[in-house]
Structure formats: C-alpha cells, structure tokens
C-alpha cells in the first residue's frame, strides 16, 4: 500500500532511536473502517461465538489485505 512508510523515531530518554512503520491518514482511515466492520460483525454474530465464521474470516482477510496491522 502506498500510504505506508518507515519513519525514524528518536528515543526521548537518550537511548537509541528506531524506525517505526507509519500510515498516512487515508490509509489509516481505510484500515480502521475495515477493522470496525470486523468488530461490529463479531459483536452480533452467533456463529462467531460458536467458533468458525466464514464472514468473520473474510472480514479479517480484507482488514489484513488493506494493511492491518500494517502489513509488511
């Protein structure tokens, strides 16, 4: 996804800094919406409570494909 990139983060306590993966606001918004759809589905789905749910699996797959949690 083009809205992902690496950014250097200085350590505030004086320790070594590190890189972190960041997303622009558009990418973050799309991934957040996909995650919200997954959570909303799971909250009201009896099949999810029993175990295997094809809809939840599809929603999870879509969330991962969009970048959550920041696909490598």
Nearest to 72 by CA among 23, 37, 35, 38: 23
- 63 domain-assigned: yes
∠ CA 48-53-56, nearest 5°, is 85
- 52 domain-assigned: yes
- 55 domain-assigned: yes
pLDDT tens-digit readout, 18-60: 887 677 777 678 888 888 999 999 999 999 999 899 999 999 9
- 18 domain-assigned: no
Task: Give me the pLDDT at residue 3, please.
Answer: 73
CA distance 4 to 27: 7
pLDDT score of 1 more than 50: no
**Structural domain total, the chain:** 1
Cα end-to-end span (Å), the chain: 10
Task: Give me the pLDDT at residue 43, please.
Answer: 94
- 4 domain-assigned: no
Task: Give me the pLDDT at residue 54, please.
Answer: 95
Using pLDDT thresholds of 50, 70 and 90, give the confidence band for residue 72. Answer: low
Task: Give me the pLDDT at residue 67, please.
Answer: 76
- 9 domain-assigned: no
């Amino acid at each position: 996804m083009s809205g992902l990139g690496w950014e250097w983060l200085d350590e505030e306590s004086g320790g070594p800094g590190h890189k972190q993966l960041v997303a622009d606001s558009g990418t973050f918004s799309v991934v957040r919406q996909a995650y919200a759809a997954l959570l909303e589905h799971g909250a009201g789905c009896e099949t999810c409570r029993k175990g295997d749910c094809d809809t939840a699996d599809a929603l999870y797959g879509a969330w991962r494909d969009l970048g959550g949690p920041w696909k490598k």
